[in-house]
Copies of this chain bind each other. A is one copy, B any other.
Amino acid sequence: MISLTLVQARDLAENIMRSHGFSEGHVRTVANAVVTAEGDACASHGLWRLLGCIHSLKAGKVVADAVPEVVDWAAAVVKVNGHGGFAGLAFEAGMPLLVNKARSQGIAILAINHCVHFSALWAEIEPLTAQGFVALAFTPSHAWVAPAGGNKPLFGTNPIAFGWPREGQNPFIFDFATSAVARGEIELHRRAGKEIPLGWGLDADGQPTTDAASALNGAMLTFGGHKGSALAAMVELLAGPLIGDMTSKESQAFDAGTKSSPYGGELVIAIDPQRLLGVSAGEHLLRAEALFDGIVEQGARLPSQRRFDARVLSKHNGVQIPEALHADLMALL
């Protein structure tokens, strides 16, 4: 493993992005996303994603100098046209207006269109909880996942993220794929020559399989059977047609076999608990704290606890990445 301080990791990420002609806004937001994820011990969304960012650029599937365009669409709706750039910069551009709208109306939508996704959704949730908002985010991906009762890829891995602000504490945040596992998890099994458990995927004939390669060529399955499948469909609808953007199937067609990052829309909803609760906000936010106490007191974990614990450690110890990944990244400079 190669050890890097967080500053070194950020410099490396920024230099890679910059050397490929990305505008400073994309350099900064992409580097921040992958270094934060690496420091949070989420290697799947960490520095190795830079390989995908550069691959998507070379495939012509991301616009290096895209400037997001913010539209004040309705009293409770902000739209941002990403113009083919990465989602992070588009989110950053739209967030101030989203925050203003949620504060005054109680709830507001940020619809990001025509952007490329590679990051975890909590990257968009944390800035909102940090300002005291409850937040939800959804995005489709590529058609890899079969609906429950079916056997052909239709849905993306379609993550759902939710955040709840906590005074003086890390926020309550979850962010998970509606597929049984992340696609990268199946890829790791294939590379390691390991079988996957039943329930993760179907082969190209629609039969349950324990062979990772067969599942990647067939269809992944949703988590939680028909319930997970219903949620995956909801994500397609909310972050696709509802905001005038592509479904996972359309995004995959647009990809044209280049295996670039998914292109399309993202829906973010922000709710202001202070606006909803008024003078009694303090009292009711304590009820939420009692709920969290009820979870941890019985030995269960809060969803992002592992991530926040890792963040504290990486601030002091930096991060460690495999030598092969480090070499691949250095080759991009």
Residue ranges of A at the interface with B (Cβ–Cβ < 8 Å):
73-77, 104-109, 111, 134, 146-152, 154, 160, 162, 164, 172, 174, 176, 223-231, 233-234, 236-238, 240-244, 246-247, 249-250, 269, 271, 273, 275-277, 280, 284-285, 287-288, 290-291, 294-295, 298-301, 303
Contacts and interface: CB of A to CB of B under 8 A. Distances in A.
A228 B174 CA distance: 11
Given A77-B105, A238-B134, A291-B241, A146 B228 contact: no
B76 A291 contact: no
Contact of A244 (B223, B229, B247, B276): B276
A136 to B, nearest CB: 9
Given A244-B276, A247-B290, A106 B74 contact: yes
A295 B233 contact: yes
How many copies the complex holds: the figure is 2
A74 B277 contact: no
A5 B246 CA distance: 45
A145 to B, nearest CB: 12
A249 B298 CA distance: 14
Contacts of A269: 107, 269
Contact of A287 (B176, B226, B240): B240
